Structure 1
Amino acid sequence: MPLTRSFKELVQRHVAEDPVYAEALLREGIDTMLAGDVDTGKAILRDYIKATIGFEKLGEATGTQPKSLIRMFGPRGNPQARNLFSVIGYLQKRAGVELHVMAGPG
């Protein structure tokens, strides 16, 4: 049986309707990148950006061209740390969360 809506549309709607889910998606994207799966983390953050602020407004807020942001979070994107941290910092501020990196055991 074919799906009537795409998964990405479902995620975007869920993010728009549920702030707890939106925050969890932001955290998951960042956590995934920090765990070493940069491509998956970028994909999660791309979905989060599309569902919340959009690339146009994010570009205005960070001083980065929207097309550059789209490429940065695309499958072949290789963002510079400066640009990535600028985006993550803004997304945290906008969401009203402050994430911290802590060393784990081992």
Structure 2
Amino acid sequence: MALTRDFRQTVTERAQREPEFAKALLDEAMTMFCQGEPEAARLILRELVNATIGFEQLAAHIHRPSKSVHRMLSAQGNPSMDNLSAIVGALAQSMTATVEVRVLQRA
């Protein structure tokens, strides 16, 4: 029987071991939001929170209940732009990353 590994555990361990991987996850989540895929973006952010600062610390940082933050980042979540901005800002700060938005024109 083949050994399998839990996806979440793999993501968490790699994000903790490789800061650039964590930053790439944040970048991918933001790209997905901008491209109209908010459900997938929220799930990536959820995994990133679990792998980095954790929901309790994030909730304290953005002054929201932990349970509310969990709901915001669920597949059916619907965070306001204020909450989403606070979440991304807290993640970026914890990873010493900079979030930069660039609009590219398509040919």
**RMSD between aligned alpha carbons?**
1.2
Higher RCO by CA contacts (8 Å cutoff, separation 6 or greater): 2
Gaps of 5+ in 1: none
Instruction: Report runs of 4+ in structure 1 exceeding 4 Å deviation.
Output: none
C-alpha displacement of 1:4: 3.3
Equivalent AA in structure 2 for residue 30 of structure 1? M
Counterpart-to-counterpart distance in 1, 2:53 and 2:34: 23
TM-score by length of 2: 0.92
Q: How does 1:41-52 map to 2 (within 5 A)?
A: 41-52=41-52
Residue 93 in 1 paired to residue 93 in 2?
Answer: yes
TM-score by length of 1: 0.93
Counterpart-to-counterpart distance in 1, 2:27 and 2:3: 28
Describe the SS at the equivalent of 1:67. Answer: helix
C-alpha displacement of 1:95: 1.3
Q: How does 1:69-88 map to 2 (within 5 A)?
A: 69-88=69-88
C-alpha displacement of 1:77: 0.5
| Identical pairs, percent | 33
Paired position in structure 1 for 2:38: 38
C-alpha displacement of 1:101: 1.3
Number of residue pairs matched? 106
Residue 58 in 1 paired to residue 58 in 2?
Answer: yes
Gaps of 5+ in 2: none
C-alpha displacement of 1:3: 4.1
